[in-house]
Amino acid sequence: MATLGNMGSKRQVALVTGGSRGIGFGIAERLAREGYALVINGVRGEAEVAESLSRLRAHGVEVVYAPGDVASDAGREALLERALASFGPPNLLVNNAGVAPKERRDVLEMTRESYERVLGTNLAGPLFLTQLVVRHMLAAREREPDFAACVVNVSSISASVVSTNRGEYCIAKAGLAMLTQLFATRLGPLGIPVYEVRPGVIQTDMTAGVAAKYDQLIANGLCVQPRWGYPEDVGRAVAALARGDFPYSTGQVIVVDGGLTIPRL
């Protein structure tokens, strides 16, 4: 079976949703260092992400920005159309785009509006984008039997660690864990591995508002490795999966949390 790591001189293309900042940028930059041509998706205008795109291009790879909201049918179709027009079918899909609740509320006070917004981006988006992209991957495989393909879903320890003041986020990430296993099971016989990467407390703009809280928790032993995680940590995990370093592990979870979720007394 062809893997992304053994395609020789063939250009490998990665589509990274939410790839212009935070964890997504860390993933994109690691992939750029490994020579991937990149399709970076986001909802901001291209001028707003110009600095990020420039930093990625500095690694000597082609980078295309494909705006589109993964929560909408039109947004998913637009970003995929841009990707296909630029490079053809991607070899690697990284479902990373995600949002947090605009306002943290107790699960008893969660609003339908917040639930639908978070689930739309964090769960429905990856589900229906994966459907679209995989169809093109399979069509490419028919034309080119050694076409390598892989899907990586970026989840969160919130898939299994409860936060009662952002229940909609936890529900979405738990659903993404099952989505990974569903697609892994469906696509395994077709030679397309699907993985979940589950970050812990990662230092990004999304966590900036609670930085002081987590600084204290980490200092008090929250993680076995006493530091914040960084987007680069997640990027390294995604790159290893894409290279085929775990060829017999489809459907599995790679936890990048510094040991936070190890049960301890």
In a domain, 260, yes or no: no
In a domain, 150, yes or no: yes
- Neighbour order of strands in the sheet with 92-95: 63-67, 37-42, 13-17, 92-95, 150-154, 194-199, 253-256
In a domain, 254, yes or no: no
Q: Residue 230 catalytic?
A: no
Query: 2: which 2 tokens?
Result: 């062809």
In a domain, 261, yes or no: no
**How confident is the model at residue 82, as a pLDDT?**
98
Domain that holds residue 230: 4-246
Render pLDDT for 60-114 as a digit per residue (tens, 0 to 9). Answer: 999 999 999 999 999 999 999 999 999 999 999 999 999 999 999 999 999 999 9
The SS3 of residue 106 is: coil
Q: How many distinct structural domains can be found in the chain?
A: 1
- Which residues, given as ranges, of the chain have pLDDT below 70? 1-3, 5-9
CA distance 194 to 152: 6
pTM for the model stands at 0.96
**How confident is the model at residue 4, as a pLDDT?**
73
Point out the catalytic residue in the list 169, 195, 214, 230. Answer: 169
**How confident is the model at residue 10, as a pLDDT?**
83
In a domain, 255, yes or no: no
In a domain, 184, yes or no: yes
Other residues' Cβ atoms within 10 Å of the Cβ of residue 197: 25
CA distance 144 to 140: 6
Task: Specify the CATH number for the domain of residue 125.
Answer: 3.40.50.720
**How confident is the model at residue 2, as a pLDDT?**
63
**How confident is the model at residue 208, as a pLDDT?**
87
**How confident is the model at residue 6, as a pLDDT?**
55
